[in-house]
Amino acid sequence: MERFKFGKDRLLSMHSRLMEGKMLYKAEEAQRFGCSLRSIQRDIDDLRTFFFNQSEYGGIAQELIYDKRLNAYRLEPPLRNILTNQEVFAVLKILLESRSLSKQELYPILEKLIECCIPRENKKMVTELIGNEKLHYVEPKHKTVLLDRMWDLAHAVKEQLVIDVTYKGNYGTKLVVRKLKPVGIMFSEFYFYLTAFIVPDTNSELYLECQDNLCPTIYRIDRIVDLVITEEHFRVPYAERFEEGEFRKRIQFMQGGTLRKIKFYFTGPSIEAILDRLPTAQILKQDEKGYLVQAEVFGKGVDMWLRTQGDWVKVVE
């Protein structure tokens, strides 16, 4: 009776891992459960029959096949789409290069991606490829734990809940308290940001300046010292609905302000770099003066960036 129970648990465990997109290696399974290779082979035969019957009568067309190259058993097609080696490697590199998370939060993500998505025979190679970069990873100076807070803010955004925040501005400035209508979360150059509208009765010069425009304020999430999500809902009429994607195209420099249209000539070597930096940019024409570019941006952050382009940029308006 105990042996039958153990065999059932073994089958359930193997089935569960197959459904997660993992592979079964006979020798590893035998060692895991302390049984013979013959017992594992019987289990695999039972699982193959189960999936065949599911395909015949349940409408789920899956087959348990033996992959000779990997010397392992896997489902074909997998129940869930699994990231390829190349996709996982790209995500790992982006996470490391972004320098957006503390080591405490980043390292478990890297390990889980490798463990869950990389086949056993490639894990060592991928681990070595990012090993040096991981060893010398420089976390953001704030070292703030962000993931839970971002998830709470995402919930407030989705449910349109008013939040109260205590916010620490630039170094040396005092704490400020704000009541906000959160509308989006964005990432740019090392930091995660909350975009939000100040509620109408808040005494804020920035709000008074922007109340007639689609102009949310921007807060670095790591500088939110205290967060309270209230039960008060806010409503954004459809005509005035904040579209995070459209706003993101116009807020490349993470500074609040009114919507502006800029026009300038560019004579540098790579117009593609300008178009990538300013997603709303359009080339109006090209002549002996260079490329005439027009773009929409929020705030004055673009002014500083334009100055960094030196003689390559001549502002028209």
CA atoms of 155 and 287, how far apart (whole Å): 50
Query: Which of 185, 213, 246 is the last residue before a domain boundary?
Result: 246
Q: Is residue 90 part of a domain?
A: yes
34 with 62, same domain: the answer is yes
Domain holding 285, by residue range, is 259-315
19 with 100, same domain: the answer is no
User: Is the pLDDT score of 221 beyond 80?
Assistant: yes
Residue 131 vs residue 208, higher pLDDT? 131
CA atoms of 61 and 123, how far apart (whole Å): 29
Q: Kindly report the average pLDDT of the chain as a whole number.
A: 80
Position 5 confidence tier, pLDDT thresholds 50, 70, 90: very low
270 with 186, same domain: the answer is no
Q: Is residue 33 part of a domain?
A: yes
What local confidence, expressed as pLDDT, does residue 165 receive?
Answer: 92
Q: Is residue 253 part of a domain?
A: no
- Per-residue pLDDT tens over the stretch 115-166: 877 777 788 888 888 888 888 888 888 888 999 999 999 999 989 899 999 9
Q: Are 29 and 14 in contact (CB under 8 A)?
A: yes
Query: Which of 25, 46, 76 is the last residue before a domain boundary?
Result: 76
- For residue 68, give the CATH number of its domain: 1.10.10
CA atoms of 153 and 193, how far apart (whole Å): 10
Position 292 confidence tier, pLDDT thresholds 50, 70, 90: confident
What local confidence, expressed as pLDDT, does residue 6 receive?
Answer: 58
Q: Is residue 251 part of a domain?
A: no
Q: Give the strand order in the sheet containing 290-298.
A: 282-287, 290-298, 259-266, 313-315
Q: Are 179 and 162 in contact (CB under 8 A)?
A: yes
What local confidence, expressed as pLDDT, does residue 104 receive?
Answer: 92
- For residue 153, give the CATH number of its domain: 2.30.30
Where is average pLDDT lowest: 39-43, 49-53, 110-114, 269-273? Answer: 269-273
Q: Is residue 69 part of a domain?
A: yes
- Per-residue pLDDT tens over the stretch 7-27: 778 888 898 888 877 889 999
What local confidence, expressed as pLDDT, does residue 16 receive?
Answer: 85
With the C-alpha atoms ordered 134, 135, 139, 144, is the resulting torsion angle positive or negative? positive
Helices 37-53 and 2-19: angle between axes, nearest 10 degrees: 60
CA atoms of 31 and 36, how far apart (whole Å): 8
CA atoms of 186 and 196, how far apart (whole Å): 11
What local confidence, expressed as pLDDT, does residue 239 receive?
Answer: 46
Position 307 confidence tier, pLDDT thresholds 50, 70, 90: confident
CA atoms of 142 and 224, how far apart (whole Å): 11
Number of independent structural domains in the chain = 4
Where is average pLDDT lowest: 41-50, 64-73, 164-173? Answer: 164-173
Counting residues of the chain whose pLDDT is more than 90, the rounded percentage is 15
166 with 229, same domain: the answer is yes
What local confidence, expressed as pLDDT, does residue 269 receive?
Answer: 78
- Per-residue pLDDT tens over the stretch 63-83: 888 988 888 998 886 655 567
**DSSP class of 199:** P
Q: Max CA-CA distance within the chain?
A: 88
Task: Kindly write down the DSSP assignment for every residue of 86-124, as one continuous string.
Answer: HHHHHHHHHHHHHT-S-HHHHHHHHHHHHHHHS-HHHHH
What local confidence, expressed as pLDDT, does residue 149 receive?
Answer: 93
Cis upstream peptide for 77 (omega within 30°) = yes
User: Nearest CA to 145 among 113, 105, 196, 204?
Assistant: 105
130 with 154, same domain: the answer is no
15 with 66, same domain: the answer is yes
Strands 191-198 and 217-220: antiparallel
Position 1 confidence tier, pLDDT thresholds 50, 70, 90: very low
183 with 209, same domain: the answer is yes
92 with 6, same domain: the answer is no
Q: Are 157 and 178 in contact (CB under 8 A)?
A: no
The residue type of 10 is R
The residue type of 150 is M
- Would residue 77 be called left, alpha or beta, if left means φ above 0 and alpha means ψ between -120 and 50 degrees? beta
183 with 232, same domain: the answer is yes
H/E run at residue 26:
helix 26-33
User: Is the pLDDT score of 228 beyond 90?
Assistant: yes
155 with 235, same domain: the answer is yes
48 with 96, same domain: the answer is no
User: Is the pLDDT score of 103 beyond 60?
Assistant: yes
User: Nearest CA to 114 among 74, 138, 151, 87?
Assistant: 87
Where is average pLDDT lowest: 39-53, 98-112, 135-149, 166-180? Answer: 166-180
Q: Are 199 and 227 in contact (CB under 8 A)?
A: no
151 with 232, same domain: the answer is yes
